[in-house]
Chains A and B, each alone.
Chain A
Amino acid sequence: MAEQLYNAVFIGSIYALFALGFALVFSVLDILNLAHPTVFMLGAFVALFAIGTLGLPWFVALAIAVLVTGLFGIVLDRVAFAPLRRRGAPALSSMISSLAVSLIVVRLVELRYGGDFITFPAGAVPAFVLRVGDATLEGIRLAIVVLSVALMVGLTYVLRRTQLGRDLRALAENPRAARLLGVDVDRAIAATFFVSSALGGLAGVLLAFAYNTLDSRMGVPLELRAFTVMVVGGMGSLPGAVIGAYILGFGEVASLVYLPTELRDAFAFGLLFLVLVVRPTGLLGQKSPDRV
C-alpha cells in the first residue's frame, strides 16, 4: 500500500509539472498552447543530445534542456502566437497555429532520432534505489516529487511576491490597461512562455530520466490529462491545476488497487466529472482577474 501511495504522489507530481506550464499560458493569455506536449518531448531529446552526442553529465544536460525549451517557448510565441495576436485572430487560430509548429518539431525530431523509443547511454542517467522494508523507492522519483513541490511553491511565490508576478497578473486582467500602466507587455509575455516551456521541458527530462526511455510522441498521453486537471482545478488557476493533478494521480492508482481494471479510467474520470457537477467552475475556478 505504501508503494502505491508513493506511486500516486509521483504520477500526480508529473501531471502537475506538465499541467502548470499549460495552465500558466492559459491563465495569462487565454490561449491553449497545443505545442506544450512537444515542448515536453523536446526537453527530453535536448537532454539526450547533450548526454549522448556532447558527452555532458546529466545535471548539465538537465540545465541545458530547461534553458533550450524555455527559449523555444519564446520562439514559439513569436512564430505561432504573436502574429495572430497582433491581428486579433480568434483563439481557435492560435490553437491550430501551435499544433502546426508542434507537428513540424515532432517530425524534425523523428528525422534525427527516428520514431521508435530510445534510451540514454548506459550509466548516463542517475539511478539509485532506496529500500524501506519491503518497499522500493527509486531515487530519481523521489527527486522528482521534491523538485515538483519546490517548483510549485517557487512559482506561486514569483507570481504573488515579485514585480514579474504583478506584471503577469496585470496582463491577465487586461493587456491594454497593463500596457497603459507601464507594464512591459512584450517582456511579460516572453517571460510567460519561457517559464511555461521550461517547466514543460523539465518535466520531459525528469520523466525520461525516470524511465530511461523517450520517444517523439511521449507528450501525447499527458495532453488529455493536462486538459482534465485544468478543468477540474478551475481553468487558469495554477493551484487548482496542481490539486487536480494530484486528484487524478491518486484516483488512477486507487482505482487500479480497488476496482476491476476495466473500470479504472471510468473511475478516475468519473471522479473528476463529479467534481465538476458539484463545482462547475472547477475546484478553484475564479474570474480572470484573480486567476494568476
Chain B
Amino acid sequence: MMRRAAVGLVGVLLLASCGGGTATPSGNPATATVAAPKPDIKIGLATAKSGAANFYNPQQSNGAALAVDQINTAGGIAGAKLQLIVEDDGSVRDQGITAFRKFIEQDKVVAILGPTLSAVAAGAHPVAQAGGVPVIAISNTGLGIVGKCDYGPCDWIFRASLGEQSAVPETVKAATQKLGLKKVVIIYGDGKFELDDLTIFKEAFKANNVTVSKEIAYTAKDVDFAPFVTQAKGENPDAVVASSLAGPAGKILDEMAKQMPGKRVIGGNGLNSAALLPNANAGLIVVGTAWSKASTDKTNTDFVAAYKTKFGVDPDQFAAQSYTAMIVLADALKRSGNATDRAAVKKALEGVSSLATPLGPFSFTTDHDVKQPTFVMTVKDGQFTPFQ
C-alpha cells in the first residue's frame, strides 16, 4: 500500500515538474492517460474584405469571430473547438468561387458562411451545392438564394439574412398604415438587387391598395440624381421609394429634402446601412431591417455588450447576422450527433426552431429561408430607431 502511494506521489510530482497535465480527482495518477484533444471543427467564412462591398467588413468577420470565441469558451462542440477560416471574396463572383473551392477541397470545412453579395453567392453557392457542403447565407437578400434557385437544386443552402420578400411587405404595410399612403413613385437602379426590390415593392404596394404612379430608372453610372427626384416631384406622391443601394440612396435623400421637404423615402435593405446615418436627411428613411440594436431582448443586449467590449464599437446588422449564423450553426452541430458529417449537420440545420438569437426567435422554413421578426425602422439622432 505504502509502495503504491509512493509511486503515485512520484507520478504527481513528475507531472507537476513537467508543467503539463492535470491530475484527475479520481483514479490512479500514475496510470492516468490524457485524452487526445479532439480535432477542430473547421468553418469557412467568405466575406468581402476588398472590392465594392468591403464596407461590410470587418463587421461580418467580427460577428462570426465573437460567436466562435464564446462557443469555444463554453466548451466548444462536444469538446471540439470551432476553427473559423476567413477568406476574402473580393466582392466578385470568381474570387467567391475560388474561396469556396479552397474551403471545400483544401480546408475540408464542415460548413460555410457567406459570401457577402447576392451576385457573388450566385456563383459560389453552386460550388457548395455540388460539393455537398452546408452554407448559411449571412447577407444575401435577393431573389433565388434559397428555395427556387436559378442554377437548379439548392437544398444545401440556408439563409440567415432576412430576404427582401419578407422585409419589404412588412415595411410597406407599416408605412401605408402610419403615413396613410395612397400614391408613391419608385426610383430604382439597374442592378440585380434593385430590380428584385422593384418587383417586390410593386407587389407589396398592390397588396396594400397603394398606386405606384411612376417608375423611374437610374443606372449605376448616373452621377446626378436631381433629375430623377424632379420627375418624381411631378407626380406629387405621398412618398418616394428608393430601390437602391446606400450610395445612390444618400443622393436621393438629399434631393428629396431639397425638392420635396418632409416627404418620406421608403427603402429596402440597401438603405439599411450605417453609412447613411451621418446623412442630415436620414430621418426621412423608412426601412425594414433584420435587426434592431434597440431591441431589449436579453440575447440581443448581451450580444451588443459583448461585441462592444471585444471590438470597441457598436455592432451593425451585418455583425448581428454573421454572429447569429454561427450560433445557429453551433446549435445544429451540437444536435447533429456527428459534427464532422456534413449531411448530419445539414439535417440538423433543417431542425433549427425558435432559437434565441440577437435577431429574435430564429427558425428555418422548409425552403431553408430565415423565419424571424422584421423591424421597421427610421433614423433619429444618428441611430436606427423603431418607426413609430
Contact = CB atoms under 8 A, between A and B. Distances in A.
Contact of B54 (A11, A114, A253): A114
Given A117-B250, A213-B250, A253 B217 contact: no
Interface residues of A, dominant DSSP: helix
B215 interface: yes
Contact of A211 (B219, B251, B275): B251
Contacts of B230: 3-4, 7
B227 interface: yes
B221 interface: yes
A221 B221 contact: yes
B333 interface: no
B384 to A, nearest CB: 17
Given A138-B258, A221-B221, A114 B55 contact: yes
B228 A256 contact: yes
Contact of A213 (B217, B222, B247): B247
A207 B225 CA distance: 12
A4 B219 contact: no
B216 interface: yes
B231 interface: yes
B217 A14 contact: no
B149 interface: no
B221 A212 contact: no
B280 interface: yes
B35 interface: no
Nearest to A116: B55
Interface residues of A, number: 38
Interface in A239-255: 252-253
Nearest to B258: A136
Contact of A4 (B54, B227, B251, B280): B227
Nearest to B224: A11
B278 A119 contact: yes
A7 B246 contact: no
Contacts of B52: 115, 217
Interface string A85-96: 000000000000
B251 A7 contact: no
A213 B282 CA distance: 13
Interface in B60-76: none
A264 interface: yes
A252 B218 CA distance: 11
B258 A261 contact: no
Contacts of A138: 258
B223 interface: yes
Contacts of A132: none
A10 B223 CA distance: 11
Nearest to A211: B251
A117 B253 CA distance: 14
Contacts of B216: 256, 261
B92 to A, nearest CB: 13
A242 B72 CA distance: 64
Given A116-B55, A119-B278, A136 B224 contact: no
B296 to A, nearest CB: 29
A116 B224 contact: no
A261 B190 CA distance: 11
Given A115-B54, A116-B275, A262-B217, A207 B223 contact: yes
Nearest to A260: B217
B274 to A, nearest CB: 9
A122 B223 contact: no
Interface in B61-96: none
A11 B217 contact: no
Interface string B35-59: 0000000000000001111110000
B231 A257 contact: yes
A256 B216 CA distance: 8
A215 B223 contact: no
B254 interface: yes
Contact of A264 (B217, B251, B273): B217
B259 interface: yes
Contact of A221 (B220, B254, B258, B259): B220
Nearest to B220: A221
A8 B231 CA distance: 13
A268 B246 CA distance: 26
Interface of B: 50-55, 215-217, 219-224, 226-228, 230-231, 246-247, 250-251, 254, 258-259, 273, 275, 278-280
Interface of A: 3-4, 7-8, 10-11, 14, 110, 114-119, 122, 129, 136, 138, 141, 207, 211-213, 215, 217, 220-222, 224-225, 252-253, 256-257, 261-262, 264-265
Given A115-B52, A207-B223, A221-B222, 10 more contacts: A4-B231, A7-B227, A10-B224, A11-B224, A114-B55, A136-B259, A212-B254, A220-B221, A221-B223, A261-B217
9 contacts: A4-B227, A7-B230, A10-B226, A115-B55, A117-B247, A117-B250, A138-B258, A141-B226, A212-B280
